[in-house]
Structure 1
Amino acid sequence: MGATARTIALDPHPPVFRLPRGGESPTRGSPAVAYHPRRKASSLKPSFITPADYIDISRKTNFVIEFPVSKRGPGISGIFYASHSPPGLKFVNIRFPDYSRGFLYYHSDSGAGPLEGSIRFRLTPDNSPSSFLSGQDLLAPSGFPWQILLAQVACRDKFAFIGEQLVHENLVTREQLSRCRDVFSPHEHIYPQYTLFRLDSPFLVNFSSPVHLTVVGEQLHRVGMSNLFKNQTLGEKAYFPWTGSGIARFERSTLSEHAGRRMLNLRIIKLLQPVTCAVDAPSYDGRVMRPEEGQLFTLRFRGGRPEPWAYDIDKKSKPAAALRVLWDNSCLP
């Protein structure tokens, strides 16, 4: 008999309602119906995957995975896509999207730090390992990559068998997992879309909300920028002039006036939800200019002169101290 897989859950809330087929809405009092198609995977290393590692999780509420080094666990549950709470109901697990077919694998960027890395799902048109490179990673409902961070693998007992497989394949070391546990509290809520390791780490932004980030260094640092996307005119209450969301990253400023200083800009890498003006658009001439995909986030200064938003990380503030960690992690002078 094969070893029984241990639990993997991306959301702390267990499924309470079944999401019926055909797009029906969940109903109050529906019994929890678990569906756990059990899968085996020989490797999490992209260069070692085989056609047998190809899985189809389309429209599944969750699935179970098993590795060669998996040990018998206390029970069976599954990997969840995401969950949400409809008005008046408890949390409901969302099904994996249509055409969710491909390979589960370990992702690590070149130049990644020792605590970086994540489990992702690569969408491919067929089961040929050669299609891996031309595939795309599955996205979460937010538009950010669906993933389980290495820190989550290290800090959650239910993810321990994933860590064992990663160590078995020399993708990570036990020291890396131990270091993750030292930095991240076992009770810490870890949000991949807001966790930054280096200056170029992408993160999710909502243009009508404050920005809250976690920076990973020798310890965790919290970054709160409540006014980043706010507009404020003298004598008026501050407000968010734009709605929409996107993926952004910090960048070292290359502007001539910042030469010799440690200044950061913010680039909007990709728009996920369309940007719309939340005020009377024809009359809006505020400080916060419309976020544009691929462009630096820009502010309008006195006289209407637009300039990229810039932040001095050498000033005395908690956000500056955290952003200095990103600068140092990126080995910038």
Structure 2
Amino acid sequence: MPAKGLQPLRVHSGRWTVRYSSVTAPTIRKKGPGRPQRSPLISTLNPELLRTSDYVDLSGRRCIHIGLRHNLNGDDDSRSPALFRYFQTSQPIAFPDKCAGFLYYHRDSHAAPLEGGLRFRCTPDDQPTSFSRGRDLLWPTGIPWQVIVPQLGRPMYQEFADQLLRENLASQAQISRCRELFDTVKIYPSRILFRLDQEFPVDFASPPSLTVVAEKRQRVFFSSIFTSFAPAGGFLRSAQAPTSDLEPDEPEVEKPRLVFPFTGSAVARFEPSMVNGRRVVHMRILRIVRPIASVFLNYEGRLLEPQEGELLTVALRGQAPEPWKCDLARKNSTAAAFRALWDVSRIP
């Protein structure tokens, strides 16, 4: 039977999403028989105000509750710990080994208005001075693990949102706007873009689906960016094609079909450019996470093999290879989303 004052947790999981729930009293975990262990408490989300007592060890844990200490002279039980997890696709997995450090709020100097989030800095020791020598925890996809402002703006994260306001790390206007834009929408932090040059994960065997946030929230689905046309039997004629509608000596060539010619994953970003006086957006492959491999033998298709550090390149029939691009002058939802990102990114 739960201790008096405690309420059972309800935990919801989602792809690429850090999930955590609030309770009305400190969560008690046991480490060994009869040895209760309280949730770790931290005093700040500002990396410049960290204390040794803010050091948290996540190593090997499948989940952890972290609370906020409001009374720096002692333990304050009037808090709502939050549950933090680590995911690979939609499955919760243990935090990596050697994953100890500080939870903090991060916002780039050139961030978009609603951009920012909680990150975890892994450090070599528990001293705040080691923060600058540490590295941010990454998702298995290669981008920083984080809980973004749109997530923190929800009621279940009120404790951390209030802390951001107390420390002047975020404004009420930012949090309120995120609540308006996302409301009850499921949030996938890794798939949300606030500006053009923001990094995001890509899997070359599936179409990217992103949410663009500017004046409004727009979903962008790139159904064919990593695809090429190939016949069902590969890049050769199929010897098993039916011939019922043809003369016996006429082999049938199967119609081309859309395929993903490569497997592997990477971290990418979009880049603005001007081509013949027109605004366009390219995609750069920044870092390869899972090695790229070709699905077909003797592949000769539209999409060239992605290269680390290079722009994604395509070779259209009868033309020389050139960087993939999206023309912002086009009248479709993808171009409209890129125009919004171009404007919010303050690109001339």
Question: Structure 1 length normalisation: TM-score?
Answer: 0.82
Please show how residues 29-178 of structure 1 align to structure 2 within 5 Å.
38-69=39-70, 72=78, 78-82=83-87, 93-155=92-154, 157-178=155-176
1:160-181 Cα offsets, whole Å, 9 max, x none, are: 1000111111101112111111
Question: Aligned letter for 1:313?
Answer: L
Distance 2:193 2:295 in 1: 29
Question: For 1:12-43, what per-residue CA distance to the aligned partner results, in whole angstroms no more than 9, with x for missing partners?
Answer: 59xxxxxxxxxxxxxxxxxxx98875111111
Pair 1:71–1:305, CA change in 2 (3 A): farther
- Cα distance in structure 1, aligned partners of 2:194 and 2:7: 30
1:277, CA displacement in angstroms? 0.2
User: How far apart, CA to CA, are the structure 1 residues paired with 2:165 and 2:286?
Assistant: 33
Q: How many corresponding residue pairs?
A: 298
Deviation at 1:142, TM superposition (A): 2.4
What's 1:251 paired with?
271
Say if 2:14 and 2:188, in contact at 8 Å, map to a contact too: no
> What is residue 183 of structure 1 aligned with on the other side?
181
For residue 299 of structure 1, what is the aligned residue in structure 2?
314
Partner of 1:196: 193
Mapped to 1, the partners of 2:322 and 2:285 lie a distance apart of 15
TM-aligned CA deviation for residue 301 of structure 1: 2.8
Residue 314 in 1 paired to residue 329 in 2?
Answer: yes
Residues in 1 aligned to 2:77 and 2:211: alpha-carbon distance in whole angstroms = 33
The 1:279/1:241 distance shift into structure 2, 3 A limit, reads same
**Does structure 2 conserve the Cα–Cα contact (< 8 Å) formed by 1:123 and 1:138?**
yes
1:24 counterpart residue number: none
Relative to 1, partners in 2 of residues 1:34 and 1:147: Cα closer, same or farther, differing over 3 Å? farther
* 1:230 equivalent in alignment to 2:227: yes
Cα deviation, residue 57, structure 1: 1.4
Residue 303 (structure 1) shift? 4.2
**Structure 2 match to 1:261:** 278
Give the RMSD, CA atoms, in angstroms.
Answer: 2.7
* Partner AA of 2:68 in structure 1: F
Q: Deviations over 1:249-301 (max 9, x none)?
A: 110125xxx14210111101111111000111xx1111100011111000123
Match for 1:241: what amino acid? P
What code does the residue aligned with 2:144 have? P
> Are the equivalent residues in 2 in contact too, given 1:208–1:243 (CA < 8 A)?
yes
- Output the amino acid matched with 2:162: E
2:346 aligned with 1:331: yes
Structure 2 counterpart of 1:293, one-letter code? E
Q: Deviations over 1:149-168 (max 9, x none)?
A: 1100002x221100011111
Q: 1:325 to 1:263 in 2, by over 3 A?
A: same
**Cα 1:12–1:128, aligned 2, differ >3 Å: closer, same or farther?**
same
State the secondary structure of the residue aligned to 1:238. strand
Task: Look up the equivalent residue of 1:268 and give its one-letter code.
Answer: I
Contact 2:141 2:267 in 1 (8 A): no
Give 1 or 2 for the bigger CA radius of gyration.
2
Gaps of 5+ in 2: 16-28, 32-36, 71-75, 232-254
- Counterpart pick for 2:214 among 214, 217, 223: 217
Distance change >3 Å, CA 34–CA 274, structure 1 → 2: farther
Paired-residue identity, %: 40
Q: Distance in 1 between matches of 2:208 and 2:287?
A: 17
- Closer/same/farther in 2, CA of residues 84 and 194 from structure 1, 3 Å limit: closer
Whole-angstrom distance in 1 between the partners of 2:179 and 2:83: 23
Please state whether the residue corresponding to 1:66 is helix, strand or coil.
strand
Given that 1:109 and 1:117 are in contact with CA atoms closer than 8 Å, whether structure 2 keeps it comes out as yes
